Chains A and B, each alone.
Chain A
Amino acid sequence: QVTLRESGPALVKPTQTLTLTCTVSGFSLTTSGMSVIWIRQPPGKALEWLAVADGDGDKYYSTSLKTRLTISMDPSKNQVVLTMTDMDPVDTATYYCARVQLRAFDYWGQGTLVTVSS
């Protein structure tokens, strides 16, 4: 059974760095072609992709946010970690991780709401 679960702080202050962890089960992060993506959704708004990492060690970032994002994989822990620097209230959103398969996102975590406020 494939599952993904996001974890991280619910509240961060402006200018702080956010670190989120996606813990996966039911599939291997080291499988060639396997990817995990981070996506966010501000309250009442649309989905926005942030970063993706694959089992070959490649990483890709949203053009608009690439200077603030770092994605990494730790296959030994079955984890994919996203860091976002210089957080701002506009970054308040639910953050999801999802598995990339067949050019779509077939399994999603339940999401974690991150609020940026002083």
Chain B
Amino acid sequence: EVVLTQSPATLSLSPGDRATLSCRASQSVSNFLAWYQQKPGQAPRLLIYDTSTRAAGIPARFSGSGSGTDFTLTIGSLEPEDFAVYYCQQRSGWRGWAFGQGTKVEIK
């Protein structure tokens, strides 16, 4: 089973800053990695799928990259509404799924 490790656990930044979030897989995986944003009291929202494809309606400041075991979500310039928790997600084995433990992006 694939284990996804996200870093850092917390990222303290100011509006306008660039955010770089990391997701590392315990074994080399396909490029079927996704990223989600979750705000308090809300369901997660799909941001990125297949490593780098933005979901419908997601602003261009969100971008994804990576391959093999190392993946990155970049938020180009943080807007006030971007402060939230971000999760990566990957297929794990045959018809299994894995989530990272999340990175909280908080206002510095």
Contacts and interface: CB of A to CB of B under 8 A. Distances in A.
Interface of A: 37, 46-49, 52, 58, 60, 62-63, 96, 98, 102-106, 108-111
B96 A46 contact: no
B46 A48 contact: no
Contacts, number: 57
Contact of B97 (A37, A96, A106, A111): A37
A48 B99 contact: yes
Interface size bucket, B side? 20 to 34
Chain B binding surface, main DSSP class: loop
Contact of A47 (B42, B91, B99): B99
Interface of B: 1, 32, 34, 36, 42-46, 49-50, 55, 87, 89, 91, 94-102
Contacts of B50: 102-104
Contact of B100 (A46, A63, A96, A103): A46
Nearest to B30: A103
Contacts of A49: 96-99
Contacts of B45: 108
